[in-house]
């Protein structure tokens, strides 16, 4: 798993960062497996993530 923050623009020292969202990359067999992982994640179960807005992009790297 890899995760990180997405900003509106590169944060400047001394200024508030303009947070846009986040990205999480999972390694799984298919999108359904990723969906199951996400649904059990602490950020999802605690309500921090809005699961109505999440997007799963299925990409195979072989």
Residue bearing tokens 């790297």? 61
Q: Is residue 43 part of a domain?
A: yes
Q: Is residue 1 part of a domain?
A: no
Tally the domains of the chain. Answer: 1
Q: Is residue 6 part of a domain?
A: no
Q: Is residue 20 part of a domain?
A: no
- 3-state SS of 8-44 is CCCCCCCCCCCEEEEEEECCCCCHHHHHHHHHHCHHH
Range of the domain at 43: 28-62
Percentage of residues in the chain with pLDDT exceeding 90? Answer: 29
Structure tokens at 55: 């997007």
| pLDDT surpasses 90 at 54 | no
Which of helix, strand or coil describes residue 5?
A: strand
Contacts of residues 31-36 at CB distance under 8 Å and 24 or more positions apart, as own/partner, are 31/56, 31/58
pLDDT of residue 62: 66
pLDDT digits (tens, 9 = 90+) for 7-33: 998 888 999 989 888 888 888 988 899
Q: Is residue 33 part of a domain?
A: yes
């Amino acid at each position: 798993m890899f995760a990180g923050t997405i900003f509106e623009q590169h944060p400047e020292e001394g200024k508030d960062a303009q947070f846009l969202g986040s990205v999480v990359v999972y390694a799984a067999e298919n999108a359904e497996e990723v969906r199951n992982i996400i649904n059990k994640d602490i950020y999802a179960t605690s309500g921090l993530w809005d699961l109505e807005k999440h997007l799963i992009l299925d990409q195979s790297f072989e």
